[in-house]
Chains A and B, each alone.
Chain A
Amino acid sequence: MSDDLILSLLWVVPLGGSLLILGLPRDDRLVKSFALGVSVLTLGLAIWVFGLYVGGANPPAVSALRDRAAANRIAEADQVGGAWQVTDVPGDLVVRHPWIPLFNIEYLLGVDGISLSLLLLTGLISVLACLASWTIDKQVKGYFSLFLLLLASMMGVFLALDMFLFFVFFEVMLLPMYFLIAIWGGENREYAAIKFLLYTLFGSALILVGILVLYFWGGDATASVRGQPFAAHSFDMMHVAEAASTTSFYGVPVQTVVFGLLLAGFLVKLPSFPFHTWLPDAHVQAPTPISMILAGVLLKIGGYGLVRLAWPLAPAGAYAWSGFVAALGVFSIVYGALAAMAQTDFKKLVAYSSVSHMGYVTLGMAAMGLFGRDGSIDPRYYAYGVNGALYMMLAHGITSAGMFFLVGVIYDRAHTRDLAKLGGLWNVMPIYGAIGLVIFFGSMGLPGLCGFIAEVFVVLSAFHFNRLLAVVAALAVVLTAGYILWTIQRVWLGRNDHWKGLPDMDRRELVIAAPLVVLTVVMGIFPQAILSWASPSVERMVTDVANAPTVRAVEVADQAVAAEQGPAAEPDGWVELAETASRR
């Protein structure tokens, strides 16, 4: 099968399903089975793409996405007839067609390790969320139609390599989410839904401004990319990113502005500290499966936007902002953990834990220790950080979806989420307790479970960047342990006769929980299973960012300022310690 078909199918199948479902007869079981079938098919397609990516004689994983996208060019055959030709390279998992030639907008899809890992996560969480939606009994057709539309747009976001196309999928996501919260949510659903919508729209407005500034910027006229003169006016992410990381076309000031815009936009989605307030509302009001999607996938779109757009498109801007962003990440970690500790609503607690965990993603991305002590480019530690951020996104996708699911399970039975009323559930529901323990410990970052790997990577990288931040981030683990253990105590431990007789998890619920539990453990023990194919893409991105001439310019300017202010502080044992630790 050609790339054209299989990559397009990844979003066309759920979209088609979402339309077809409206034509099905009014039979709830049929509708649910159909939606599940479409989700499973989508997951299957994602796995197939994964097979193409890592397998075969000449897998695409070997060459950088940038090279593959550049090889797959569009040439206008003749100016008069206007017929377009695509130089197609089969088997490279890149699709390119003209869409709106007037503005140089293309239908450009492609996958690399970063997007593929998130595509797989999306497919998996969607299947599980679809199973978790079995209890929906209000306007079933509408629900599953919107659900599949949401799936289609999420897939599209991770596939798109054209900024315009990315933005289209990004925005299309809002509407199904709005209705899924506003119609099937809890008591205060309308408020939560409109808050989600407005926050995200404001964020996307900033993103669009950033993209447009990149598109229209007229910089150094002599800049060339791959032997061709570069004059912006392109929405091709890979092309613009290459210009940003190999030329000085985008100067430091414009990159600083663009990075600020993209950062703010994606931090809303992530969400990070000042823009996070929509999250607890949306989570608390959303139905369980939608909470799973929201925490498991939608938040990752913020992180994916950072790693795919913000950093590669404005590396010098990112470097100039890195101290602030890293501090913001650490603050989010601590703030989220403290806020989680203060909650009495189980679901709200989990929501704030997401804010805390996403802080690690921000920190991992922002800890840009790009230069060795002798001033040479040495992005090893930064690669740890970005790998850690990516791993955190995957791990959090698994554990947070699991946690929201567990909250949903108990809410279905006890009809309360008040932590003060819960308790003693282990005696009543032992299987539920065991599953909960694994997933909550995974989220806490217990060694051997998935969260640990990510936290270690991020903190290691942060250590090389700024010791104070690293120490705070590492100490925040105590806070995390605090609220998680306290939650476990308040929900499962102790004695509470009030809940006697609650049924344990049924078969459907076990089917949903099992993959999450397995992945929590496997990802904790064999991180290489994912990193082996995902981290080459991360490292390419890191290398590009580190080698950008503009980043070097920022560094030189910083050092000049530092030299004026006096000699730098004596390097002490901390750095050696970190380096030794990282070498192991």
Chain B
Amino acid sequence: MDRYAFYVWGSYISALILIGGEIALLIKRKNDLKRQASLHAVEQRRGSESNI
């Protein structure tokens, strides 16, 4: 393996980085969306309270 270690490990490490990156970005996108939704809900509640 030693002669080709760089290429073989390089391939699997790049796979790990790309797949891990895809999953991390997806989770971040979902969390951002959740945060946005909860902020929106708080603003709406404040708006309805001020109307009262």
A is bound by B: no
